[in-house]
Structure 1
Amino acid sequence: MSDLRPRAALRTAVVWEVLQDALELRVKATGRQALDVLDTGGGSGNFAVPLARLGHRVTVVDPSPNALFALERRAAEADVAERVQGVQGDAHGLLDVARRGGYDIVLCHGVLEYVDDPAEGVRNAVAALRPGGVLSLLAAGLGGAVLARALAGHFAEAHQALTDPNGRWGSGDPVPRRFTAEQLTGLVEQAGLRVGAVHGVRVFSDLVPGVLVDTEPGALDALLKLEAAAAELAAFHSVATQLHVLGEAAESETG
């Protein structure tokens, strides 16, 4: 989106592009300009506030009171407080605080890495969707971590991540779990959705020295275009820092 900071744009541009296309399709399909969006694990509103600025109603579920306080302040500063609701909760008890079958779009970004049961987390997110709704799932990619450790010269850690059941490179790894594209699409399909698209996120941006992006004229735009071009190519999914899966619920039989 145009109001994203340059550095943030590198991390989110691919996801925003896919998400905005999905939103436009749902607006056309439902005939409603304002959609109901659930952002589970949405924190301080990196996605929720821009979505509300587009006119959609967004409910953010997050376990952190501090994050929800920051969300409230951020929404107020963006003049969208009436379209953003923060609720304390987590993926395990999602349906205790969110409406079952009540949302056109559900975001599950950076959540599955931290839950005890990723399959349950996906099932709960899917249960919150309306017929024809869309799940936006973003999680840490295994291959990206392996590549990053190897390029940094930490070969034993790269091998550990490659062979560890959860994709962790050691006890100091801050990420509890990583996924392959096949694992994520499997979770989505097992929860009853059709996989609409898979994208590699941050294929190159985490590997490129920041000084090149900050000082070389046109480097940021060129890198953004490169990320966008590589995102849909399956060959790059195995080395992406994050993986984005779009899951689509079936329409109701009457609609």
Structure 2
Amino acid sequence: MSAVPPEGPVEHGADPQLGRSRMRTAVVWEVLREALDGRVEQGPGRELDVLDTGGGAGHFAVPVARLGHRVTVVDPSPNALFALERRAADAGVADRVRGVQGDVHGLFDVAERDGYDAVLCHGVLEYVDDPAEGLRNAAAALRPSGLLSVLAPGLGGAVLARALAGHFSDARRALTGTDGRWGEGDPVPRRFTAEQLTSLVGDAGLEIRSVHGVRIFSDLVGGLEEQEPGAVEALLELERAAAQRPDFHSVASRLHVLATRK
């Protein structure tokens, strides 16, 4: 696995907040890059066609393009697509990144059916009206044996975070509610358990390859700048070690599922 997350490496002695930000995407990026590299090995030297639904400003799309792949980003926000254009230009991959305005429910108004080797569905399912329909569309955009990467908020991580912060009523509300929200001020419209998310992916006609817990510890600890030298790197190694263990999926802030079209 590459140890380089989308925004660059976590360097020893780097600013703790910058390191924390990069660390939060590191596990997903490492898994995704390894999976994309595996696709390329099946067709040596072949560039992949990648669709990033809800890809926003290109935090994953641009690094994927830097690997040599062609990426189409579908996002409803014109501002995000403008930021994507600038990010791609700054990274020297403007010729491999295309942004189009749209969303996963109207996906085939702007994207091809059966047209992509990989589809990213990161930070989408919590916002759409019908997550099942969104996943079915994402799956239908894949070529046979194509790869789907899904990233969504985990229920258990939110419950644990609210409880540790002393907001016990919020924690109970999230735990017992139908959408995993802890209250009116909750910025996340919907959360999932690992079982709910994998069930949705399976019902979309996909074969699950792996499930990872993401941000299991990093959202719960603070004051990294006050910890011993190398704390950011040590925390990242802990996240990596726990990511694939099912017993930690129930307390992860994010859940990452890799699947392939049957």
The two structures have a TM-score, normalised by structure 1, of 0.95
Q: 1: CA distance between counterparts of 2:198 and 2:243?
A: 16
Give the match for residue 253 of structure 1: none
SS at match of 1:194: strand
Q: Structure 1 residue 243: deviation in Å?
A: 0.2
1:227-238 equivalences under 5 Å are: 227-238=239-250
Q: Structure 1 residue 9: deviation in Å?
A: 2.0
The letter for the 2-side match of 1:227 is: E
The letter for the 1-side match of 2:228 is: E
Q: 2: CA distance between counterparts of 1:213 and 1:101?
A: 47
Give the match for residue 72 of structure 1: 85
Verify the 8 A CA contact 1:214 1:220 in the aligned structure 2.
no
Give the match for residue 121 of structure 1: 134
Give the match for residue 246 of structure 1: 258
**1:150 pairs with 2:156:** no
The letter for the 1-side match of 2:215 is: R
SS at match of 1:90: coil
Q: 2: CA distance between counterparts of 1:37 and 1:213?
A: 37
Q: Structure 1 residue 93: deviation in Å?
A: 0.3
Q: Which runs of 5+ in 1 are unaligned?
A: 251-255
| CA root-mean-square deviation | 1.1
1:229-254, Cα deviation, whole Å (9 max, x unpaired):
0000000000000000001113xxxx
Q: 2:75 aligns with which of 34, 53, 62?
A: 62
SS at match of 1:60: strand
**1:212 pairs with 2:251:** no
Q: 2: CA distance between counterparts of 1:98 and 1:61?
A: 8
1:135-193, Cα deviation, whole Å (9 max, x unpaired):
00000000000000000000000000001100000111110000000011001110111
Q: 2: CA distance between counterparts of 1:21 and 1:77?
A: 25
Verify the 8 A CA contact 1:106 1:125 in the aligned structure 2.
yes
1:87-135, Cα deviation, whole Å (9 max, x unpaired):
0000110111111011111000000000000000000000000111110
Q: 2:50 aligns with which of 16, 19, 37?
A: 37
Q: 2: CA distance between counterparts of 1:32 and 1:180?
A: 38
Higher alpha-carbon deviation: 4-13 or 241-250: 4-13
Q: Structure 1 residue 222: deviation in Å?
A: 0.6
Q: 2: CA distance between counterparts of 1:170 and 1:131?
A: 41
Return structure 1 stretches of 4+ with deviation > 6 angstroms.
none
Q: Structure 1 residue 10: deviation in Å?
A: 1.5
Verify the 8 A CA contact 1:140 1:243 in the aligned structure 2.
yes
Q: 1: CA distance between counterparts of 2:100 and 2:123?
A: 17
Give the match for residue 41 of structure 2: 28
**1:101 pairs with 2:114:** yes
Q: Which runs of 5+ in 2 are unaligned?
A: 10-17
SS at match of 1:11: helix
Q: 2: CA distance between counterparts of 1:221 and 1:212?
A: 10
Give the match for residue 221 of structure 1: 233
**1:10 pairs with 2:43:** no
1:198-209 equivalences under 5 Å are: 198-209=211-222
Give the match for residue 162 of structure 1: 175
Distance 1:214 1:194, change over 3 A: farther
Q: 1:136 aligns with which of 149, 173, 179?
A: 149
